[in-house]
Amino acid sequence: KSQNDHYRDGITNAGIYHIRTSVLEGINNKIKVLKRVAYGYRDLDYFFLRIRSAFRGKFTPIPTIG
């Protein structure tokens, strides 16, 4: 991969989703707090459900490919 290919996905997503960096920092912080609270969970699916429920209705879901 060339240097330009390394950044292509991030640049494309920034153009599509228009989420400010302050909002992204808030999302990352909330996920880190959930991760800290979730220490010891045996079920990883439950952890991801907790993350999804924390942001329910706030953002447009990211489409999946495949």
Q: Could you read off the pLDDT of 10-62 as tens digits, one per residue?
A: 888 888 887 788 888 888 999 999 889 888 778 888 888 888 888 877 655 55
- How far is the C-alpha of 50 from the C-alpha of 31, rounded, in Å? 9
- How far is the C-alpha of 32 from the C-alpha of 25, rounded, in Å? 10
pLDDT given at position 5: 78
pLDDT given at position 29: 93
pLDDT given at position 66: 47
pLDDT given at position 53: 86
In our burial notation (b when 16+ CB lie closer than 10 A, e otherwise), range 47-63 reads beeeeeeeeeeeeeeee
